[in-house]
């Protein structure tokens, strides 16, 4: 099955920006970024708009289990499923774009912005010496192996990095349709109770949560160590998330 999924990735040659969806819903972020973070399923008529560092692996794994009966938690397999086992926004024709808001169950899960930005920093910079960290180091004019502090990371975000990666882009910017048109906006903080409600709404039966949080960090605890100036920087950068998604300025 995974080999077939990989073939679907290679076969995709869609002009994302010129597709019917992005013609109707222009975006301030790169269309390809939003396209990669969308999961549309025509059989069960839902569209899940994934947000990096907001439990999206667990939500995808749970959806995949509900549809196929397969419990997949390995990150490589999950990435293939995210990339190609669902339709993308650029795959939709004009009629399907029109039906998406009127006929499909559209939802997302969001997270406290303080916790989310710390999770992105801890996962992609501190715990992972991979490509993302190298890109950030280069933007900061640092050597790949040099220390990148949280203050450095926020410098990178302030200097345009906030729009470069779905793990720390503003959550409201990652929503390809207006948040007011979504059927459901869940919170990671309430995942244990809200995700089962979403599954029952889509599949009309109880679905157990498949926990795929293999990159879990201690971000929630780390927020307690933030000083006032750092919190102010994060708030200023993610003010739209705080205000539109209803998260408190204090943490």
Q: How many domains does the chain have?
A: 2
CA 54 to chain centre: 6
pLDDT greater than 70 at residue 13: no
Give residue 145's domain range: 112-169+218-251
Residues 117 and 202 in one domain: no
Q: What percent of the chain has pLDDT over 90?
A: 81
Residues 38 and 63 in one domain: yes
pLDDT greater than 80 at residue 205: yes
Instruction: Report the run of H or E that residue 30 belongs to, with start and end.
Output: none
Residues 6 and 119 in one domain: no
Give the separation between CA 191 and CA 181, rounded to whole angstroms.
Answer: 21
163-202 burial, b at 16+ Cβ within 10 Å, e below that, comes to: ebbbbbbbbbbbbbbeeeebeebbbbbebeebbeebbeeb
Residues 191 and 245 in one domain: no
What is the DSSP annotation of 118-151? Answer: HHHHIIIIIS--SHHHHHHHHHTT--TTS---HH
Torsion, Cα of 63, 69, 72, 73 (10° steps): 70
Per-residue pLDDT tens for 82-104? 988 999 999 999 999 999 999 99
Of 112, 97, 3, 1, the residue nearest 42 (C-alpha): 97
Say what the pLDDT of residue 128 is.
80
- The pLDDT-based confidence of 215 (bands split at 50, 70, 90) is low
Mean pLDDT, range 121-126, rounded to an integer: 92
pLDDT greater than 60 at residue 14: no
Per-residue pLDDT tens for 19-74? 999 999 999 999 999 999 999 999 999 999 999 999 999 999 999 999 999 998 88
Judged by average pLDDT, the poorest of 12-16, 132-136, 226-230 is 12-16
pLDDT greater than 80 at residue 217: no
* Mean per-residue pLDDT over the chain, rounded: 92
pLDDT greater than 50 at residue 10: no
Residues 158 and 177 in one domain: no
State the number of CA atoms in the 13 A half-sphere of 67 facing the CB: 18
Per-residue pLDDT tens for 164-204? 999 999 999 999 999 999 999 999 999 999 999 999 999 99
Residues 103 and 116 in one domain: no
Rounded to two decimals, the pTM is 0.91
Give the separation between CA 19 and CA 93, rounded to whole angstroms.
Answer: 8
| 174 contacts 37 by C-beta, under 8 angstroms | yes
Mean pLDDT, range 214-231, rounded to an integer: 82
Residues 105 and 195 in one domain: yes
Residue 206: phi and psi, rounded to 5, are -75, 135
Residues 239 and 151 in one domain: yes
Residue 184: phi and psi, rounded to 5, are -155, 130
Say what the pLDDT of residue 160 is.
96
- The pLDDT-based confidence of 1 (bands split at 50, 70, 90) is low
Say what the pLDDT of residue 11 is.
44
Say what the pLDDT of residue 229 is.
97
């Amino acid at each position: 099955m995974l080999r077939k999924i990989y073939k679907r990735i290679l076969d995709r040659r869609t002009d994302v920006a010129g597709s019917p969806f992005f013609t109707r819903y222009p975006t301030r972020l790169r269309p390809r970024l939003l396209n990669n973070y969308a999961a549309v399923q025509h059989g069960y008529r839902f569209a899940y708009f994934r947000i990096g560092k907001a439990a999206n692996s667990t939500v995808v794994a749970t959806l995949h289990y509900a549809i196929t009966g397969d419990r997949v938690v390995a990150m490589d397999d999950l990435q293939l499923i995210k990339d190609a086992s669902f339709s993308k926004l650029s795959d939709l024709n004009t009629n399907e774009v029109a039906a998406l808001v009127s006929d499909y169950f559209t939802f997302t899960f969001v997270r406290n912005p303080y916790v989310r930005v710390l999770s992105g920093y801890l996962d992609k910079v501190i715990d992972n010496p991979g490509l993302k960290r190298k890109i950030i180091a280069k933007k900061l004019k640092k050597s790949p192996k040099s220390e990148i502090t949280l203050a450095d990371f926020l410098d990178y975000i302030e200097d345009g990095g906030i729009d470069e990666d779905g793990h720390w882009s503003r959550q409201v910017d990652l929503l390809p349709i207006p948040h007011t048109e979504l059927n459901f906006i869940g919170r990671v903080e309430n995942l244990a109770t809200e995700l089962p409600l979403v599954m029952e709404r889509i599949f009309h039966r109880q679905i157990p949560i498949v926990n795929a949080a293999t990159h879990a960090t201690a971000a929630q605890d780390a927020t307690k160590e933030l000083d006032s100036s750092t919190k102010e920087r994060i708030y200023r950068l993610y003010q739209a998330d705080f205000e539109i998604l209803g998260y408190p300025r204090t943490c």
